[in-house]
Every structure is written in structure tokens, then in C-alpha cells.
Amino acid sequence: MDWRDRIIIDPEMLVGKPVVRGTRMSVEFLIDLLARGWTTDQVLHEYDHLQAEDIRACLHYAREVLASERVYPSPAIGQ
């Protein structure tokens, strides 16, 4: 799956946060629901305009963002 088919980034919508195409549902919001323990079925029931592929696209997007993240260790302050 290519998340780009379902996730868009438009500076005119939600200040450029990535959203599910055709909605104002941000990837951040949907990932937060899943992190809080919501199941895919619960999300789809509550937001019936979404499809399971939209949720998978959000997860793919998040995985790609995290995979590209670089962490640089720094010494602790005061040591």
C-alpha cells in the first residue's frame, strides 16, 4: 500500500497536518485513537465515512515518518 493514495498534506487544511483524503480527519487524531485502545472496527463504526484502508494508510504514514527520524544523543544537562 502506498499511503500517498489516501493521505494528503494541504497547507490550507488543518495547517498542513496530514489528513485522510476527502476528510478533515488527521493522521495524528486517528493514530491517537488507536494508541488509546480503540480497535479499527470501533473507529470505522464511529467515523463511518472512513474505510479500513484509510486507517492502514495512517499507520504506513506513521511508520515511514518514524523510519526517517534521526536521533542524536546528547549529554545530559548538568553532568
Q: How far apart are CA 12 and CA 10, in angstroms?
A: 5
Quick one: pLDDT at residue 78?
60
How far, in Å, are 2, 50, 79 from residue 57 at the CA level? 7, 11, 43
Query: Which residue, 1, 3, 54, is CA-closest to 29?
Result: 54
Report the pLDDT averaged over residues 7-27. 96
**Cα-only R_g, the chain:** 15
| Rounded Cα–Cα distance for residues 5 and 28 (Å) | 17
pTM for this entry: 0.84
Give me the architecture of the 3-67 domain, per CATH: Orthogonal Bundle (1.10)
Round the average pLDDT of the chain to a whole number and report it.
93
What is the residue extent of each domain of the chain? 3-67
Q: Is the pLDDT of residue 13 over 80?
A: yes
76/3: higher pLDDT: 3
